[in-house]
Structure 1
Amino acid sequence: MRSTHIDNSLGEGVYFPLQSYPGFIRRSLAMLIDGTIVMFLGTGIWALLSLLFYAMEFTRSPEVFFFVIWLATTWAYMTLLKRSWLRTIGYRLAGLQIVDANGSRPSLTRMTLRLLMWVFGPFNFFFDMVWLGADSERQTLRDCYCGTYVVRTAAQPEGIAPLHLTRYFAAGLAPSYPRVVRPASVAERPAPMPPIAE
């Protein structure tokens, strides 16, 4: 008698229908809109601080205050707002939301790590976009390592499956991260072995 063992040591997570994962154009549109908004926020903060320093007749330049306020505003926009039900403007216009492996809102720690990986690496926009086109769940490398999934706004989980450590070998890299492994469809399952004649 043969028993089948399913490894649940990493826990379980939800998976979505494949059409729920946005493609390259929709993801790029959301990034472009949010990036433009962050730049406009920086311009507005700089203009307000410059006027304030001029009106108060300060002799110092507002660079330090500008960077502190702009970084705090960017962090709040790209983490607090993006993970909330409001979402960022780019995500709302592109019809996207971000969830974790349980289909819930990602933690603030995950979102902060995701933002830091965007700013400091080790991945850049080019790697993210290339990986997005090749990934089975259409996720960037940042999403894979942070355990986040970008899906369409109305997406509903299709089921629950175990988390397995996924390994890839490409372009001299060997990324490895936990991934919800969706069960194979009936059409994808191998045919049963014929009985051995005695």
Structure 2
Amino acid sequence: MSKAEKEDTPEVKTDVFSDIVANSRPLAEIAASERILTSLEPRKPKKDAFFRCHPQLHALLNIYRDETNRVEYVLHDKVAPTVEALVGVRRVSLRLAANYCGDFFAWPVSIPADVKANRWHATAYQAMEQSIGSWIRLMPSSGHYIIYRREVNDAKDPTWPDEIRTDVDLARFAYGTGGAGDYIESLNHEVIKRLKGEI
């Protein structure tokens, strides 16, 4: 190539797309990976997502929600009466749940008998019961939830995670190390001291 030809040849710029095109391989050649579940977010189902609840896995727990810090704490039996006397405790059935995309979460569903049939709690509990056998979506309305059932006949069942086999696993993944919630097992916990006005 002459000097004049070299000067006329445009310089090829490289960027991320050059690498993507040059190194693109069929998916069959790329090593597959397996998702490992390490924690669960304790939360309500999202209003725009259909979900199912596991037919057997659930844990009955006492919960305190710190509204200031927006954290839910599961309470050990030795601290629950103190928290109940100070600010109240919510009795829940913690349920392993999955949305239609395969994402898992832990749903702390209030038990209506323990909250004097609050309509929000009563309709949420009905939705939880329905979601054991059907894909359900919850939509907030005036003082309660509206329950929608997915009508597609060929809707797939969830593939439940192998990491959660017991109710203890479920509570640990939601409120233990790595979970989005937390737990209180001692009256010396900072939250208890704050509720008592000691700090």
Structure 2-normalised TM-score? 0.25
Bigger fraction of residues in helix? 1
Structure 1-normalised TM-score? 0.25
Bigger fraction of residues in strand? 2
